[in-house]
Structure 1
Amino acid sequence: MIAPDGSIRPAYAAYHAWFSEQDKKRLAKKSTDAEAFFRRVGITFNVYGESEAQERLIPFDLIPRILSAREWARLAKGIEQRVGAINAFLHDIYNRQEILRAGRVPERLISENDAFLPQMLGFTPPGRVYTHIVGTDIVRTGENDFYVLEDNARTPSGVSYMLEDRETMLQMFPELFSRVRVQQVSDYPKSLRRSLAACAPESCSGKPTIAVLTPGIHNSAYFEHSFLADQMGAELVEGHDLKVVDGHIAMRTTQGFKVIDVLYRRVDDSFLDPLTFNPESMLGVPGIMDVYRAGNITIANAPGTGIADDKA
């Protein structure tokens, strides 16, 4: 919000004027109310790696990260180019491997990497899209300098928390948004659904049936899985809800089995298909890789995309 010389950054001018007028006790009370709402609704995530998993609230920051329209347009152009390059890299790695023959990338960095899936060799996903959703971590280091810290091309998570933060901010401080014009983000679930539907397999006739595959309620990002499925009007399923029926992946319903055309999976590669990857997995769908390679379902993101975001 504040530049090195002490001045207010132009993008923050209207927000800073509003913030300066606010009673600090009121702001603290609103922040506490927001955290109570998050806890009541279940907007939390789990932190692993300690003695045991700990459930934590999503932080509610009263000072947002603001980008001007010009800055956003510049970033968006660069990110779109980057995601396109990631997708092209994946297609090459799993097909012609020209980047390896040219010596641009050492072959051992691919062949010896667990994120590389030989099962994807020679296969092109529906629409030639590998990375339907990418999480790009960006840091600002100067007035006009932005750097990418990392790409998350496997099962990126976190967008639902941003959407809930914005909605909570709107409810807590409606007067702020009458003074500070910002681009809406509430249409993200609809945009996500359109993107997924656009990559439905050729075998799909009519409106694609989309499902979100979750590991279950104990997963750290289960809130997001449920939230996005609900907002997209998609099915929320676990592995045991699905099975192979006549060469397609189908979901059990009260009226029988219903074919799934697009599966937005939030299950890691190794657990996706016990017949192809980890045989002890109880989270995936036995035989789904055969259906995928036959072109009868779209999996977003495609298995094996981790080779594009690996830090090696």
Structure 2
Amino acid sequence: MFDSYQVKPFFDEMFDDHKVPKPHYRKFYDILQRFSEEELKEKHDTAQLAFLRQGITFTVYNNNVGTERTMPFDFVPIIISRDEWQTIEKGMIQRTEALNRFLDDVYHEQKILEEGIVPRHLVEENPYYYAKQVKGIDIPLQNHIFLAGIDLIRDEFGKYHVLEDNLRNPSGMSYVYQNRYVMRQVYPDFFANHSVHALEHQLSYLHQAMLDHMPNTSNEKPFAVLLTPGMYNSAYYDHVFLAQQMGIDLVEGRDLIVKGNIVYMKSIRGLQRVDIIYRRIDDDFLDPHAFREDSALGVPGLLEAYRHGNVAILNGIGNGVADDKAIYAYVPDMIRYYLGEEPIIDNVKTYLLSNQEDREWVLDHLEELVVKNVGASGGYDMLVGPHASKELIEKFREKIIESPHQYIAQPTIKLSRAPAYQGEKFYPCHVDLRVFVMRGKETRVLPGGLSRVALKQGSLVVNSSQGGGGKDTWVYKEKEDRGLLDA
């Protein structure tokens, strides 16, 4: 079934250069070989149908019109060895700690700006820097990052790099669980011998991390809610899933009211004081009194309640200044500055186009590079030079010349690939990994995370909105030579 499968010139997650399965994939590969073509097709169809039955969808917007789609899913998992996972885990804890200290610093003493480690203009001119609203506010645990989603890639040598930090409203954790649920339906016989990390207890850790942010002004058992923009939001399934699994109320802005700088939830039993808001609404829409006046999604007076320390808002307001793609270039320096350590997992090399020398070099090499808008996400407003038309390259040249500060450039990394079964055959597809970091009094990393796959053959874009899909991610508890698999 893998006769026509091409490994080179990329790093392959499952196979070595001679198309021999790697040690931690051998057991899975052996079982895969036992299936007939009909059985493989049946398993593929079972996976897609399971997502449809579960109502697992996301919304793609085109010309302001939303279309509901089921999440494309591939039944070949990404398997991570124990040793590799330990490195990832340490690297993610290190990185989020440095980013949190950076956020606390730029909203308080600004030492890293005074010492010139991070250019002041990159912070103060950043549209996500809300100094006027939240500078100087002390928050529970001095923790701005309750949940981070860090995107990792592997290069042609198998080395991990951080591609992007998501510190505002990282989505996708629900898909990690649903991927595992679907794999149980597809391979019930695989999950028997307790060697892959389970996910079941992880949401209790997320719940506890949330409750750890209880404000000092509240003496009773903390009451937490998840604030959603509503059912038309592209990540609404994520919101519903997390609220249900953590046993907290899912609310919209109209369900909350602020009185005397205290937030209450309206209920049939009257007003219930709210201590913690896990918000999935962007900063601009949180409070029409403090941000966008036309917001119908937020809660009037919420910022004042936050300023008085009467409610915790997770993730912190203004986190976007730390996951901007231009600030990203300075995260290794933050790690050295705040922690006195070298980065365990480093960045992809990044050219800042506001720098004249970088800009001139990039404009001469656009056909070789990836160019990204610093404020965009989801694969939008991005140039992949080697795959782009001459017209698109020229269009981005004009954009860069007109607004150089709005773009960064990076080398086109040969993203690692893994087998995907689509169209009744296996072929190699590029993958990345979103790792979720949960921070309260303790920091924990969800074992595995969301593996995303560029299901369009030859594509480098893994985002679901751009035709990408998901894979289950297995992390071994023990040395992989035992060859045992379990959920």
Q: Report the TM-score range of the alignment, normalised by the length of the smaller protein.
A: over 0.9
Please state which structure has a larger fraction of its residues in strand.
2
Instruction: Measure the CA separation in 2 of the matches of 1:12 and 1:242.
Output: 50
SS at 1:61's partner residue?
A: strand
The residue that corresponds to 2:82 in the other structure is 69
Q: Is 1:133 paired with 2:147?
A: yes
For residue 105 of structure 1, the aligned residue among 108, 114, 118 is: 118
Is 2:28 aligned against 1:41? no
Find the counterpart in structure 1 of residue 162 from structure 2.
148
Distance (Å, rounded) in 1 between the aligned partners of 2:63 and 2:21: 40
Query: Structure 2: how far apart are the matches of 1:58 and 1:182?
Result: 24
**Number of the residue aligned with 1:307:** 321
Q: Is the CA contact (8 Å cut-off) linking 1:140 and 1:147 kept in structure 2?
A: yes
Deviates more, 1:86-95 or 1:202-211: 202-211
1:10 correspondence with 2:26:
no
* Alignment partner of 2:237 out of 217, 223, 226: 223
With structure 2 as the length reference, what TM-score do the two structures score? 0.62
Q: Tell me which of 101, 113, 117 is aligned to 1:88.
A: 101
C-alpha distance in structure 1 between counterparts of 2:311 and 2:35, whole Å: 52
Q: Which residue of 2 aligns with 1:186?
A: 200
Aligned twin of 2:298: 284
Higher mean C-alpha deviation, range 296-305 or range 9-18: 9-18
Q: 1:14, 1:179 within 8 Å by CA — same for their partners in 2? A: no
Amino acid at match of 2:55: G
- The structure richer in helix per residue is 1
Q: Work out which of the residue numbers 65, 79, 83 in structure 2 matches 1:52.
A: 65
- State the 1:29 CA deviation: 1.7
Matched, 1:162 2:196: no
Identity, % of aligned positions: 40
- Paired letter, 2:65: E
Please report how far the alpha carbon of residue 310 of structure 1 lies from its aligned counterpart in structure 2 after TM superposition. 0.2
CA spacing shift, 1:202–1:259, aligned 2, 3 Å: same
Does structure 1 residue 205 correspond to structure 2 residue 219?
A: yes
Aligned partner (choices 28, 44, 47) of residue 41 of structure 2: 28
Quote how far apart the aligned CAs of 1:51 are: 6.1
- The 5 Å alignment of 1:119-130 reads 119-130=133-144
Q: Would you say the 8 A contact 1:47–1:54 is kept in 2? A: yes
**1:233 corresponds to 2:250:** no
* Aligned residue among 266, 285, 295 for 1:271: 285
Among residues 230, 248, 255, which one is paired with 2:262 in the alignment? Answer: 248
What residue ranges of structure 1 are gaps of 5+ in the alignment? Answer: none
Residue 50 of structure 1, CA deviation: 4.6
Q: 1:276 to 1:106 in 2, by over 3 A?
A: same
| More moved, 272-281 vs 8-17 | 8-17
* Superposition deviation, residue 142 in structure 1: 4.9
* Count of aligned pairs between the two proteins: 312
Larger deviation: 152-161 or 203-212?
A: 203-212
| Distance of 2:64 and 2:275 partners within structure 1 | 40
The letter for the 1-side match of 2:159 is: D
Q: Bigger CA drift: 185-194 or 170-179?
A: 170-179
Report if aligned partners of 1:15, 1:180 keep a CA contact under 8 Å in 2. no
In the alignment, is the contact (CA less than 8 A) between 1:139 and 1:148 conserved in 2? yes
**Bigger Cα Rg:** 2
CA displacement 1:139-172 (0-9 Å, x = unmatched) = 1225651000000000000010111010111133
The one-letter amino acid of 2:143's match is V
Distance of aligned partners of 1:305 and 1:51 in 2 relative to their CA distance in 1, 3 Å threshold: closer
- 1:134 is paired with a residue whose SS is strand
In structure 2, what residue type is equivalent to 1:170? R
CA shift digits 1:54-89 (9 cap, x unpaired): 222112211111111111111100100000000000
Deviation at 1:123, TM superposition (A): 1.2
Alpha-carbon contact 1:14-1:180 (below 8 Å) kept = no
Deviation for aligned residue 1:245:
2.7
| Residue of structure 2 equivalent to 1:257 | 271
Could you tell me how far apart the structure 2 residues matched to 1:153 and 1:270 are?
Answer: 15
CA distance in 1 between partners of 2:120 and 2:127 (Å): 13
User: Structure 1 180/5 Cα, relative in aligned 2: closer, same or farther at 3 Å?
Assistant: farther
**Given residue 85 of structure 2, which amino acid in structure 1 is its aligned partner?**
W
For 2:296 and 2:305, locate their aligned partners in 1 and report how far apart those are by CA, in whole Å. 18
Distance in 1, Cα, partners of 2:251 & 2:17: 49
Provide Cα deviations, 1:200-254, integer angstroms capped at 9, x if missing partner.
1112223211111000011101111011000000110000000113321110111
Q: Which amino acid aligns with 1:253?
A: S
SS at match of 1:284: coil
Name the SS of the counterpart of 2:138 in structure 1.
Answer: coil
For the 8 Å contact 2:47–2:185, the answer to whether it is kept is no
**Separation in 1 of the partners of 2:202 and 2:62?**
31
Which deviations, in whole Å up to 9, do the C-alpha atoms of 1:170-214 show, x marking residues without a partner?
Answer: 133111112673101122221110100011111222321111100
* SS of the residue 1:218 aligns to: coil
